[in-house]
Amino acid sequence: MSAIASTPINGEAKNAPTSGRLFFLDLSGGRILSANPDGSDLKTIINEGRRLPDGIALDVAAGHIYWSNMGEPERNDGSIMRSDLDGKNMITLVPPGGTFTPKQLQLEKRSGKLYWSDREGMRVMRANLDGSEIETLVDTSLGDSRPGLDPRKWCVGIAVDPDGGKFYWTQKGGHDAGLGRIFRANIQVPQGQSADNRRDLELLYDNLPEPIDLDLDPVHRTLYWTDRGDPPRGNTVNRAPMDPQAEDGKEPEILVNHLMEGIGLALDFKGDRMFITDFGGSVYSANLDGSNRTKLLIAEGNLTGIAYAEVASMVFDTLAVRKEGAALFVKMAAPPMNLLGPELVRDLGSLLQQAEAEQSIRVLVFKSADRDYFISHVDLTRIKELKEATAELDEESLGLVLRRLSTSRLVTIAQIEGRVRGVGSEFALACDMRFAARESAIFGQFEPSLGVIPGAGAVQHLTRLMGRARALEVMLSAGDYNADLAEHYGWINRALPAAELGEFVRSLALRIASFPDAGHVAIKDRVNAIALAPAGDFRRDAEVFGAGLRDPEAQDLIQTAMKRGLQTRDAEMDLARMLGGLTVTQT
């Protein structure tokens, strides 16, 4: 089905990565679902209830999904809807009654039109992208009242060839009656003619089992369609010339068979593949010649329309990404001071999952959009929500989430220009390398000033990097350490002048990214075997941190610190001094 591809919606960086994405419909559940082209990362985007969605089209440039709802076939209550690609901002374009039983839907961006077939309405229709100017292009009723009862007049599939000036549609016929047909006509109704008497209709193929959805390969002048009739010619994907007369009446070729009532079809020419849905609830992929058939998903409902497009693959609330070569540069922005809250945790988890799945990415570089704060620390007012976000990532603790930065096949680098304390420091420590601006970077593990231990990896990382004595100094003092001292202690790889830091990190990242991924994986695996603490040690630290946080004295200290400005920009510019005074006050 139709998809208009373009630059990513996320305008933060024109080099934001894109990847293929499937969108498909569950008629029985009233759902729009989305998944990666291999069937992974399955999500329900919209759940409308029983409105019988059937046709779907995408406009990636505008960030929109369009779909048709059949409604109840015996009632005139079909509709066409639109939402953002994430399912938000859903609106009705063609209200119930504006079309009878809309089926397959196609978007023709050049003219700004939506085309669809209306089954019981026995017609082919179109409208502007905002739902205005609804018109009937073909009326197959021959005077029958609606809803039409003759399946030979039911229009189902639709495809548009703007360059050729034609549109194509299927009329399915009865269930496996062998009366299915495929027609085409001019996009413009001939002057002096109307939808019910136009004389430019061409019958291309007839006596088909039960043709449903259509798609076109205009370059090779080839028509593809699904057929939900019975075998051997039904439950198939077929192709045939768009111009059969020029091909001396060449018979349709069966590409894929043994579907469970094949319905939806989407072609990906760049990937030389097609995607198919069937009413039995499965999603398939196959090469355009029908080879390499793969079942991607099963038992997902009664599936109808499907669309494929290259979309912005990494769009987040708190992260902006830019891809250069095989490196992904990530800028963290969680105002007002980059506290680690549930939104940032979810985004970081999603980023890592997506980046690991994208084989063209080998290096991740993290920096902050806030010049004063890399990641301040955990948001102490949202501990419960943070636990929930961590659980959503299938981890028991935040430390284990961050540990993924160390165990990932990706090389992870932290570029630090501001303050990084508490879990912010633990995030940086989980990265494979850390580089900091000499003039402005500040490091600290202030948790002991509140009576708790660092709970997300600092105990494990700092002890291995610095040795016992310096790790104890850093944590028990709860002080601030500048970049030069952090470099001397082993907290970071290097301290560099701020003016040189960005280009140094970029050049290093691109150099590493130019080398084979297999080498990265093997080296990290062996180094981790020596230097990375077992997951069980991270769990134990999280347990001790949690127990300490529940202690009444710790709660009192946190509340007093909050009153003195903890988690505010100005107070945390000199956090060590403020917490030192806090400790004296409490003793």
Per DSSP, the three-state class of 408 is: coil
Q: Scan for tokens 């409902």, then name that residue.
A: 301
- Give the per-residue pLDDT at 586: 45
CATH number of 319-584: 3.90.226.10
DSSP 431: S
Contact status, residue 132 vs residue 95, Cβ threshold 8 Å: no
Q: Report pLDDT digits (tens) over 106-161.
A: 999 999 999 999 999 999 999 999 999 999 999 999 999 999 999 999 999 999 99
pLDDT greater than 60 at residue 104: yes
pLDDT greater than 60 at residue 15: no
Pick the CATH number of 3-312 from 1.10.3210.10, 3.10.20.600, 2.60.40.1290, 2.120.10.30: 2.120.10.30
Helices and strands (DSSP H and E) totals, the chain: 13, 35
- Cα separation, 431 vs 408, in Å, equals 10
User: Tokens at residue 17, please?
Assistant: 């990565």
- Cα separation, 506 vs 484, in Å, equals 21
Helix 398-407 with 535-550: angle, nearest 10 deg: 150
Q: How many CB atoms lie within 10 A of CB 188?
A: 9
Q: In what order do the strands lie in the sheet with 373-375?
A: 373-375, 419-421, 442-444, 481-482
Per DSSP, the three-state class of 531 is: helix
Q: Report pLDDT digits (tens) over 269-310.
A: 999 999 999 999 999 999 999 999 999 999 999 999 999 998
Contact status, residue 316 vs residue 344, Cβ threshold 8 Å: no
- Cα separation, 63 vs 87, in Å, equals 10
Q: Is pTM, for the whole model, over 0.85? A: no
User: Tokens at residue 47, please?
Assistant: 């759940």
Report CA-CA distances (Å) from 281 to 35, 158, 304. 14, 22, 9
Show me where the domains of the chain are located: 3-312, 319-584
